[in-house]
């Protein structure tokens, strides 16, 4: 099975956006790009890399572009994460309470925030169906530890 390990977001200021994700979620800066298409910064949590790109022409990132609606972060402590996101410049949008009534059960809980660019972020400490919080490195990578 293929593993999702890369997400790209079109942003107006890659450096400022990278600072937000570093402060809000302790992501690490892992690279930069300045190609004919876009300039940008790469940040990672060690498993997935997020490309924060400022496209250089409308053909690559115009408003009619259909792309990512939101991204989610699985955190250890949702209340601590809320404070960290807000102190980094994130804005509370809404919560999704648990629903244990009726035929459809919602067994997770998430809070929605917006980053300084308006990108919607989910944070949860309970996870999502099918997601794995901690990933073990491949055998060859574990030998280095």
> What CATH number does residue 16 fall under?
3.10.180.10
Residue 140 placed within a domain: no
C-alpha to C-alpha distance for 113 and 70, rounded to whole angstroms: 10
User: Is the residue at 72 inside a domain?
Assistant: yes
Q: pLDDT for 54-69, tens place per residue? A: 888 766 555 445 567 7
Q: Between 3 and 142, name the one with better pLDDT.
A: 3
pLDDT one-digit tens code per residue, 86-136? 999 999 988 865 555 555 544 556 788 999 999 888 898 887 766 778 887
Instruction: Please tell me the predicted confidence (pLDDT) of residue 37.
Output: 80
Distances in Å between the Cα of 144 and the Cα atoms of 44, 48, 68, 138, 139 are 19, 20, 35, 11, 9
Q: Tell me how far apart the alpha carbons of residues 123 and 25 are, in angstroms, rounded to a whole number.
A: 10
Which pLDDT score, from 0 to 100, does residue 63 have?
45
User: What value does the mean pLDDT of the chain take?
Assistant: 80
Q: Does 113 map to a domain?
A: yes
Q: Would you say residue 95 lies in a domain?
A: yes
Mean pLDDT of 21-37: 92
Its pTM stands at 0.72
Nearest to 51 by CA among 6, 116, 115, 89: 6
In the chain, what is the greatest distance between 2 CA atoms, to the nearest angstrom? Answer: 53
- Domains in the chain, number: 1
Residue appearing with tokens 């648990």: 98
């Amino acid at each position: 099975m293929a593993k999702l390990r890369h997400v790209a977001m079109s942003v107006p200021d890659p450096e400022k956006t990278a600072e937000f994700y570093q402060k809000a979620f302790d992501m690490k800066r892992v690279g930069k790009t300045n190609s004919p298409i876009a300039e940008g910064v790469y940040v990672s949590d060690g498993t997935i890399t997020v490309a924060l790109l400022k496209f250089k022409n409308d053909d690559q990132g115009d408003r009619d572009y259909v792309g990512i609606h939101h991204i989610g972060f699985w955190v250890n402590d949702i209340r601590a994460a809320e404070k960290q996101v807000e102190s980094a410049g994130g804005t509370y949008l809404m919560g999704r309470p648990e629903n244990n009534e009726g035929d459809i059960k919602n067994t997770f809980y998430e809070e929605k925030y917006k980053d300084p660019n308006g990108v919607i972020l989910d944070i949860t400490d309970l996870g999502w169906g099918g997601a794995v919080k901690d990933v073990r490195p491949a055998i060859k990578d574990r030998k280095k530890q």
